[in-house]
Amino acid sequence: MPIETWFPLAIYYEDLPDASEHRQPLIEAVLDLEQEGIEPQNYNEMAWTGDIHGVNQIHTHPAFSWIVEQVEQHTTTYLENIGVDLSKVDLYIQRAWPIVSRTGQEVGAHCHNTAHVSAVYYIQVPTDEVSDPGSLLFFNDARVNEVCPGLGSENTDIVDAENDLNQLYVAYPPVEGRLLIFPAKQRHAVSMNETQELRLSLSFDIVLTATGDVAGAYEFLTPPPNQWKKFKC
């Protein structure tokens, strides 16, 4: 008797063919922005993330125009493949920021509650093939097959073999020049950079709104920003 699996998590990735020619300029731009950011707000064990250091609008920066174009192109492909009618939505990059991860640094578990789609691009990845350079982890918070809550806890040995039906997370090791796109609501983290090298990446948050002329769409999609009215007070 077969066991069928349903409701998959859709993670999109593409290795960008022109990545190598843009690598060095992007490295220099990210490290310059790190130096220009506000006083560090993180612990030594946390990677430097631009979003909490006043560097969260790189999509408006000329140095990042190539990768912004790639994010826009591949995000539309991702949305088309999951069935979104692009004629009925407008897409906006809401914010975008660099991440600099040094030895022993990680990014804790979180999700992007103010966005709908998120993207990550790897500019520079450590060459150490033995140690973990910091993998992107997606957590299975729904656990639809966990028939008894806590059954897969690390404090028990009840589940004796991980497989596609019971895994609690999936890990995507970073690949230089690779772009990943995923639902922003999905809880994720980045494991510790165990190498002696820098890992540099960019994150993008994308928002979908109604186009403004689709009847009934506002029940589920935010009206376009040009229809908003800011309080005068």
* pLDDT on residue 165: 87
* pLDDT on residue 145: 87
* pLDDT on residue 23: 98
* pLDDT on residue 5: 86
* pLDDT on residue 231: 96
- What is the widest separation between alpha-carbon atoms in the chain? 65
91 lies in some domain = yes
Query: Sorting pLDDT into bands at 50, 70 and 90, what band is 108?
Result: very high
Q: Which domain holds residue 94?
A: 12-227
Percent share of the chain, pLDDT over 90: 73
- Alpha helix locations (H) across the chain? 19-36, 65-81
* pLDDT on residue 158: 82
Contacts of residue 154, Cβ cutoff 8 Å, sequence gap at least 6: none
6 lies in some domain = no
Q: Number of structural domains, the chain?
A: 1
Q: Evaluate if residue 47 carries a pLDDT over 80.
A: yes
Query: In this structure, what CATH number is given to the domain that contains residue 181?
Result: 2.60.120.620
Contacts of residue 63, Cβ cutoff 8 Å, sequence gap at least 6: 25, 26, 29
* pLDDT on residue 164: 85
61 lies in some domain = yes
Are the beta carbons of 67 and 201 closer than 8 angstroms? Answer: no
232 lies in some domain = no
* pLDDT on residue 82: 97
Residue range 216-231: average pLDDT?
Answer: 87
5 lies in some domain = no
31 lies in some domain = yes
pLDDT for 73-90, tens place per residue?
999 999 999 999 999 999
178 lies in some domain = yes
pLDDT for 166-209, tens place per residue?
888 999 999 999 999 999 999 999 999 999 999 999 999 999 99
pTM for the full model? Answer: 0.94
* pLDDT on residue 9: 94
pLDDT for 120-134, tens place per residue?
999 999 999 899 999
SS (H, E, C) the chain: CCCCCCCCCCCEEEECCCHHHHHHHHHHHHHHHHHHCCCCCCCCCECEEHHHCCCCEHHHCHHHHHHHHHHHHHHHHHHHHCCCCHHHEEEEEEEEEEEEECCCCEEEEECCCCCCEEEEEEEECCCCCCCCCCCEEEECCCCCCCCCCCCCCCCCCCCCCCCCCCCCEEEECCCCCEEEEEECCCCEEECCCCCCCCEEEEEEEEEEEECCCCCCHHHCCECCHHHCCCCCC
Q: Could you tell me the strand order of the sheet in which 48-49 lies?
A: 12-15, 178-183, 117-124, 199-210, 89-101, 48-49
CA dihedral sign, ordered 108, 99, 178, 9: positive
Q: What are phi and psi of 207, to 5 degrees?
A: -120, 140
87 lies in some domain = yes
Rounded to the nearest integer, the mean pLDDT of the chain is: 93
